[in-house]
Amino acid sequence: MSTIAVLGMPNTGKSTLFNRLTGSHAHIGNWPGLTVDLMQAELSLDGRLLQLVDLPGLYDLRGHSDDEVLVRRFLESTAVDLVLVVLNACQLDRQLRLALQVQALGLPALVVLNMADEARRFGVEIQTANLQRALGLPVVMLSAKYGRGIALLLQELRRTLPAPGDTPTAPSLSDLEAKLAAVDPQLEARQAELMAAAVQLPPQWRDRWTRRLDRVLLHPLLGLPLFFGAMALMFQLIYALGVPIQEGLAGVLDTIGQHLLRPLLTPLPLFLQGFLMEGLWQGLGTVAAFLPVIALFFLAMGVVEDSGYLSRAAYLMDAFMERLGLDGRSFVLALMGFGCNVPAILGTRVMRDRGLRLISMLIIPFSLCSARLNVFLFMAATFFGPRQGGLVIFGLYLISFLAAVLTALLFRGRFPTQEPLVLELPPYRLPTARQMVTRAWSEVKHFWFWSRRFIIWGVVAVWLLNNLPFGVEPASSLSLSGRLGALLEPVLDPIGISPHLSVALVFGFIAKEIVLGGLAVIYGQADPAALGRAIAADVSTLQALSFMLFTLLYTPCVSTVAVIRSESKQAGFTALSVGWSLLLAWVSCFVFFQGARLLGWS
Amino acid sequence: MRTARQLADLPKGATAVVASVSADASLCRRLEAMGLRPGQPVQVLRRGWWSGPLHVRVGMTELMLRRRDARCVVLAA
């Protein structure tokens, strides 16, 4: 199989092209020698099997960010048959140097000028034939977003791919660095030469829409209120649409379980029956039911990001974030964390400075992710009316934000940073429906694969703890979970968390997705409404609020811990992150619970 | 003769030509990759409040950079 690496700067539509070429067959691949995962997909061209690898965006092959180092290590450890160098056709005045660097490495390369649609919109004229001749590499101009020119690219691929028999060799790292250093002094002049030979830039900037929108959206006074207003509206819309779908789906799954699976399972022993129905099926149902909200979230986040608004948010928030020892990118990542903390923590790779990365990783887990939201929506509906419930959820978002600010203020001295911040502000773009749906779909798929095993094992473990030792009354004080609850009582009783809720919290450490499923198992109620009544009969509103506060602030899930460990490469830092969130959760709940009791609320 | 100016001091709306970039190697490389190279005209589109970042345009690229980093970009007088 031939390997094709897709390489390019950020904001060149590299991933769009990758998706366009491979459809939805992309999957996460683990590469030998690299500790991180890369997106890859197989593609068949005239019966020849090709493997495409999407490398992370980079500015410079000699750069120092983690992503840039990663790309160098990839090129050194993998024998690639072809490098697809993706450039933004509008910005050849600074991006051609990347193609020159790849050429200097002696790797077989094909240059793709993407965003042909924007080049035309902005009046950039390119003679690809001239560029091809002057550069000495094949050049194809296309628009991945609108699918124009893809056939041309495939045709060029057929021509340029080395014969299947030729096995390429990977250059050694020292060789790689020597070649890049040698070409460095000529890059500037060569780039200017190529520009003169093949590109005419417009006499003046023609993007009037971006100018006009920026005047409003980046307004010193209006900018931030508009951004937060837009975010609030977006979250409202997601829940208004997603929650009914979620409830409907949960109902359907429950019906299938009761009327289809239960009769099928009746011949099995009672213990196994309970295990399969209350353990496994319920666990799976819980995750499946909230996939719609997650899909909507990623869809909306995708629109905000691809439209160019997200980088404006970084601009608007940077002055504030700088005073917290962070920067605009940390803000954007924390915002992404509201969907799922795991990709947000992976996203800190764009930061080169260690201190900045660590402190960003420390605040991201406080972002109220969709898994936690699921618990809060349920608890709020159980204990409060719709209006009050909305306020409680809003309050939790506020606390999530405050916890992040407090954490940054407390730890900025320990993780000082001098990281420069230089970010592109791309022109505003209208994302296409296809682009958004592909993206949301791949995120949901990723999430499903990622969380499934944790949730299944988690719910099964809760069920076993409740039903072991054999013959015990489920979830009674004699069961394993009852004993665990009693064990934790001295610590959790002062913050109002009952032994039943403690067990749910212990499993919430694995993943917040298990909390609801766990509660359903603990209280022996599958139907959400009946579960709500059972919980409301067992704990007070004040206890429920304390439980929500604790759920918000303590460790999000083992996946987050695992990814913090793998990205920080420090066990001590990982322990600090877990310890600090547990401490903050306990102290906040203690102050809240005991304070409310002192004020006479019970 | 006027003293060398820095990008950080360029008022909103003004255009000037980059004379040199004097920063550590990695920031230099990043700024150059973004298009801030000697001889390139650069325009300040807006300056963030509360000492916020600058929004500048260089060549066909618009970018934001902090004032501290903009001090490394020396402009031709």
| DSSP code string of A157-224 | HHHHSPPTT----PPPHHHHHHHHHHHHHHHHHHHHHHHHHHEE--SS---HHHHHHHHHHT-TTTHH
**Which residues in chain A have their CB less than 8 angstroms from residue B65's CB?**
420-423
A387: phi then psi, degrees, rounded to nearest 5: -65, -50
Crossing angle for the helix pair A386-411 and A354-363, to the nearest 10 degrees: 150
pLDDT score of A510 more than 50 = yes
Q: Which of A188, A316, A319 sits opposite B37 (nearest CB)?
A: A188
Task: Please spell the DSSP secondary structure of B10-74, one letter per residue.
Answer: PPTT-EEEEEEE-S-HHHHHHHHHTT--TT-EEEEEEE-TTT--EEEEETTEEEEE-HHHHTTEE
Residue A218 sits at the chain B interface (C-beta within 8 Å): yes
Q: Which residue has the higher pLDDT, A444 or A369?
A: A369
Q: What percentage of chain A exceeds 70 in pLDDT?
A: 94
pLDDT at residue A447 in the model: 67
Task: For chain A, give every residue range classified as CATH 3.40.50.300.
Answer: 2-200
Order of strands across the sheet that contains A422-424: A422-424, B61-65, B54-58, B41-47, B15-21, B73-75, B5-6
CA distance B72 to chain A (A): 11
CA angle A347/A357/A302 to nearest 5° reads 20
pLDDT at residue B1 in the model: 41
Q: Which of B50, B57, B69 sits opposite A421 (nearest CB)?
A: B69
Q: A2-200 domain in CATH 3.30.565.10?
A: no
DSSP designation for A276 = I
Q: What is the pTM of this model?
A: 0.81
Which whole number is the average pLDDT over A341-353?
79
Q: Which residue has the higher pLDDT, A78 or A495?
A: A495
* Residue type (1 letter), A230: A
pLDDT at residue A290 in the model: 64
* Residue type (1 letter), B24: D
A33 pLDDT band (50/70/90 cuts)?
Answer: low
Token pair for A261: 């699976």
pLDDT score of B5 more than 90 = no
pLDDT at residue A28 in the model: 60
Predicted ipTM of the assembly: 0.92
pLDDT at residue A161 in the model: 85
A263-288: burial string, b at 16+ Cβ within 10 Å, e else: eebeeeeeeeebbbbbbebbbbbbbb
The whole-angstrom separation of Cα A76 and Cα A176 is 7
List % helix, strand, coil for chain A (3-state, nearest 5): 65, 10, 25
pLDDT score of A368 more than 80 = yes
Residue A213 neighbours by CB under 8 Å, 6+ apart: A428
* Of residues A338, A309, A385, the one with CA closest to residue A235: A338
A325-340: burial string, b at 16+ Cβ within 10 Å, e else: bbbbbbbbbbbbbbbb
pLDDT score of A430 more than 50 = yes
**Which residues in chain A have their CB less than 8 angstroms from residue B31's CB?**
422
Q: Which of B27, B52, B57 sits opposite A420 (nearest CB)?
A: B27
Q: Where are the beta strands (DSSP E) in A396-492?
A: 422-424
Residue B34 sits at the chain A interface (C-beta within 8 Å): yes
Residue in A67, A221, A422 to test binding to B, most B beta-carbons within 10 Å: A422
Order of strands across the sheet that contains A139-141: A27-30, A37-45, A48-54, A2-8, A82-88, A109-114, A139-141
pLDDT averaged over every residue in chain A: 86
A244 burial via Cβ count (<10 Å: 0-12, 13-18, 19+): exposed
pLDDT score of A325 more than 80 = yes
* Of residues A199, A115, A139, A202, the one with CA closest to residue A426: A115
A107 burial via Cβ count (<10 Å: 0-12, 13-18, 19+): buried
Indicate the SS3 state at residue A574: helix
Domain B5-75, CATH homologous superfamily name and number? Ferrous iron transport protein A (FeoA) (2.30.30.90)
